[in-house]
Structure 1
Amino acid sequence: MRIDAAFIFTAFLEIIKALPLTLAISTVPLAFGFAIGLAIALIRIYKVRGLHRVAGAYVSVVRGTPLLLHIMIIYFGLPMLFDSLSAQYGWGLKSSSIPLVTFVLIAFSINSGAYMSEAIRSGILAVGAGQTEAAYSIGMTGPQAMRRIVLPQALMAGLPNLLHKFIGLLHGSSLAFTISLQELNGKAHIVATTNLKFLEAFIAAAFIYWGLTLLAEWGTALLEKRLHTYNKGGVA
């Protein structure tokens, strides 16, 4: 058996066409997950009455179950809920009109929100209380101190975890193939099956994933360098 090196390049060109969908599955949930994670982290830190226990349960359940399970629950459960509500309120819409990628984006956002909440919470708690008190002493309000002093340093402290989560979403995007989405992994399966050259197709996909991971690490290094100014006393 010989590896067809030329076909690796051919497969690369075919598989790379699925890059936009993979990036969407990786970046959109990262943004929504950050918003969810920030809200959950603040709720748990300030122990908001009636919500902090729910927030804690959400983090525990999501982190205690696999991502593939989240995709399947959303994929099978959300259409049932949507169709039931549509029939009850006369929306005149069916779940079949919802794009498949929507289910993946929701599942990934819910998953990343739980993990990112822990990264953000640990980053906020790592900032000394004295810095917040100093912010109050110069006339800042609580939200201003959080936005200008605490959060930049918390983001700096939690940056490695945030990078890890992005890479996890990038690699986890391959699970979207389970509901027939043609992201990088799904496209590699199609190219491999069509040409009966599985090893070459998956080697090409591996190079793409590796390249995206290197780009993410490079971008994070640049962001870390910028945020490092806050450790020297700067404010935004």
Structure 2
Amino acid sequence: MQLDISFIWTAFRQILGAIPTTLSITAVSVLVGFLIGAVTALARLYRVPVLSQVSSAYVTFIRGTPMLTHLLLIYFGLPMIIDGLAGHFGWSFRSASIPMIGFAYISFSITAGAYMSEVVRAGLLAVDKGQTEAAHSVGMTTPQALRRILFPQALAAALPNLSNSVIGMLHGSTLAFAVSVVDINAKAQIVASTNWKFFEAYLAAALIFWGLTVLIERSSAWIEKRIGAYNRGGVA
């Protein structure tokens, strides 16, 4: 068996078409997961009755179970719930109307939410408590202090962890193939199945993932540099 260099380039070009699917899964899961994580983190930090206990249980369960398990639970469980409710209330909507990628969006967003919760919580804990007291002393409410003072500083402190979470979700998006979503890794398998050159195809996929990861790292470093210049009073 010999390495087919030319097929690596052929596979690379064919796999490029799957990049938008991978990026959309990553973007949706990170954005929705961040919103879920922010709410969860605030509920835990401010010890909101009931919600804080639910949030802690959610984070513990999601972080304690595999990402693929979440996807399969959503894939098999959500249709049961939707079709059951539709039958009971007479809705016309059925689970068959949900595109396969929709299950990936929902599942990965829930997964990302638990990990983002810890990222946001760590960022908020890194901000000096005196910042909150200073905000209250000038008449700001807690929501105003969070929006104007705490969250900007927390995001700056949490940026490295946030970048790692984005990369983790990018790589985790390969699991979407379990529900027939054709992402980069799945496209590599499809391309390789035509002539059984799996090593070359997966090598091409690895190069694409590596390039996307480097792009995320560079973007994160650029944003971190801009935030650092702003915090020092320089020109951002």
**CA distance, structure 1, for counterparts of residue 138 and residue 229 of structure 2:** 20
Structure 2 residue aligned with 1:201: 201
Structure 2 residue aligned with 1:175: 175
* Cα RMSD for the two superposed structures: 1.3
Q: Are residues 1:150 and 2:174 paired?
A: no
Structure 2 residue aligned with 1:129: 129
Q: Deviations over 1:31-51 (max 9, x none)?
A: 000000000000001101121
**CA distance, structure 2, for counterparts of residue 223 and residue 7 of structure 1:** 37
Matched position secondary structure for 1:194: coil
More deviation, 66-75/119-128: 119-128
Q: How does 1:93-112 map to 2 (within 5 A)?
A: 93-112=93-112
Structure 1 residue aligned with 2:165: 165
- Residue 180 of structure 1: how far off its partner (Å): 1.2
Structure 2 residue aligned with 1:190: 190
User: What TM-score do you get using the length of structure 2 for normalisation?
Assistant: 0.95
More deviation, 64-73/84-93: 84-93
- Residue 230 of structure 1: how far off its partner (Å): 5.6
**CA distance, structure 2, for counterparts of residue 140 and residue 50 of structure 1:** 26
Q: Deviations over 1:167-218 (max 9, x none)?
A: 1111111111111111001100000111211111000000000000000001
Identity %, equivalent residues = 56
Structure 2 residue aligned with 1:39: 39
**CA distance, structure 2, for counterparts of residue 156 and residue 46 of structure 1:** 21
Matched position secondary structure for 2:194: helix
Matched position secondary structure for 1:3: coil
Name the CA shift for 1:122/1:71 in 2 (closer, same or farther; >3 Å): same
More deviation, 16-25/127-136: 127-136
Name the CA shift for 1:28/1:55 in 2 (closer, same or farther; >3 Å): same
User: What TM-score do you get using the length of structure 1 for normalisation?
Assistant: 0.95
- Residue 233 of structure 1: how far off its partner (Å): 6.8
More deviation, 121-130/63-72: 121-130
For structure 1, the residue ranges without an aligned partner over 5 or more in a row are: none
- Residue 137 of structure 1: how far off its partner (Å): 2.7
**CA distance, structure 1, for counterparts of residue 119 and residue 97 of structure 2:** 36
Aligned length: 234
Asked if 2 retains the 8 angstrom alpha-carbon contact of 1:131 and 1:149, the reply is yes
Q: How does 1:17-36 map to 2 (within 5 A)?
A: 17-36=17-36
Asked if 2 retains the 8 angstrom alpha-carbon contact of 1:26 and 1:166, the reply is yes
Asked if 2 retains the 8 angstrom alpha-carbon contact of 1:37 and 1:115, the reply is yes
More deviation, 128-137/221-230: 221-230
Q: Deviations over 1:9-40 (max 9, x none)?
A: 11001011001100011111100000000000
